[in-house]
Chain A
Amino acid sequence: MDAAAAALVGMGLAAAGFAGAGVGIGYIFGKMIEAVARQPEAEGRVGKYMWIGFALVEAIALYGLVIAFIIMGLRK
């Protein structure tokens, strides 16, 4: 495999990290719905932490994107 093809495969593999973030975001929203269903009056407080958690998990997926960008910058 030549270097250019390997770089493309590497970029694809870096983007595969999104799968983990998908699981994480699904988990966060699922748990949020569960929590609100159990205790509807806590929605405000739980919601705040949910959005923080959502953004943190989403950022982890984007680290993979950054690595893909780095590989794209390295290849000639």
Chain B
Amino acid sequence: MEESPLHPFELHNYIPIQLFGLDISINKAVIMMWVVVGLTAFLLVKAGASRRMVPTKLQSLAELLVGFIRDIILDTMGKDGMRFFPFIATLFVFILFCNILGLIPGTFTVTSQIVVTAAFALFVYSMSIVLGFVLHGVKFLGILVPPGTPGWLLPLMMPIELVSQLARPLSLSVRLFANMTAGHTILGVLFGLTITGGLLIGWLPFAFTVAMNVLEVGIAIIQAYIFTILTCVYLGDAFHLHGAEGHAH
């Protein structure tokens, strides 16, 4: 059988560790997450260490980032959402750095593992459910009824809304995972064509990888943004039942 195009995504344990039957081995993804956490912590702490009236380059970058995330939250959740700022900001920065650092050859894209994205998505979704029930009690079940639905349509609408609700964590996780995996697979296939193509025609797919890399940087940023904004929308739905903000699925 030919080599699978997915083999760069396979993980091999460097240091196998078993703890109470749980596999917490150290592998490439774990090390990459440490690198991401370390780098973001270093950069942001350094940016915030000496706050000046006239910001340094790093500080203005961090200010831009904070302003960007604050605008996302204010647009989707309103003022109440600001208490989620640390969570949303952590999520955004972590996913962004995972996506972008994964593009450097030789590193590993943590978000191309569905277990990572599914853990994020399930956490976000269960948080929105718990928050909704805590804030609204049983009335939160009204999220299954779109506003303005006539009574005779309810038996039809409620199952549809239930499915659309349950599809949220699935689509949230698969979207990020598939985008990252697909991008890297396409790059891998193109590099494979470059090698098999030889000198005569091999430059063509190689030139194309440059264009694909540009697109991938864009995709990395957009997908981090999408994940964050959908998190805000789901949390905002739990906040304001049938609020004024639109539904983005």
Which positions in A face B, CB cutoff 8 Å? Answer: 51-52, 54-56, 58-59, 62-63, 65-66, 69, 72
Assess whether A62 is in contact with B175, with CB atoms less than 8 Å apart. Answer: yes
Assess whether A52 is in contact with B182, with CB atoms less than 8 Å apart. Answer: no
Assess whether A52 is in contact with B174, with CB atoms less than 8 Å apart. Answer: no
Q: Mark B223-244, 1 if CB is under 8 A from A, else 0.
A: 1011001000000000000000
Q: What are 19 sample pairs from A and B whose C-beta atoms fall under 8 A apart?
A: A52-B225, A52-B226, A52-B229, A54-B222, A55-B175, A55-B219, A55-B225, A56-B175, A58-B179, A59-B171, A59-B174, A62-B175, A62-B178, A62-B179, A63-B174, A63-B178, A66-B178, A72-B4, A72-B6
Secondary structure dominating the interface of A: helix
Q: What are the residues of chain A within 8 A of B225 when measuring CB–CB?
A: 51-52, 55
Instruction: Give A69 Cβ to nearest chain B Cβ, in Å.
Output: 7
- A63 to B178 alpha-carbon distance, docked (Å): 7
Instruction: Give A56 Cβ to nearest chain B Cβ, in Å.
Output: 7
The residue in chain B whose Cβ has the minimal distance to the Cβ of A56 is B226
How many A-B pairs with Cβ below 8 Å? Answer: 42
Q: Mark B208-225, 1 if CB is under 8 A from A, else 0.
A: 000000000001001101
- A69 to B7 alpha-carbon distance, docked (Å): 12
Secondary structure dominating the interface of B: helix
Interface membership of B248, Cβ < 8 A: yes
Assess whether A55 is in contact with B178, with CB atoms less than 8 Å apart. Answer: no
The residue in chain B whose Cβ has the minimal distance to the Cβ of A59 is B175
Q: Which residues 41-96 in B have Cβ within 8 Å of A in the complex?
A: none
10 closest Cβ pairs, A-B complex: A62-B178, A59-B175, A55-B226, A55-B222, A66-B178, A62-B182, A65-B182, A51-B222, A62-B179, A65-B178
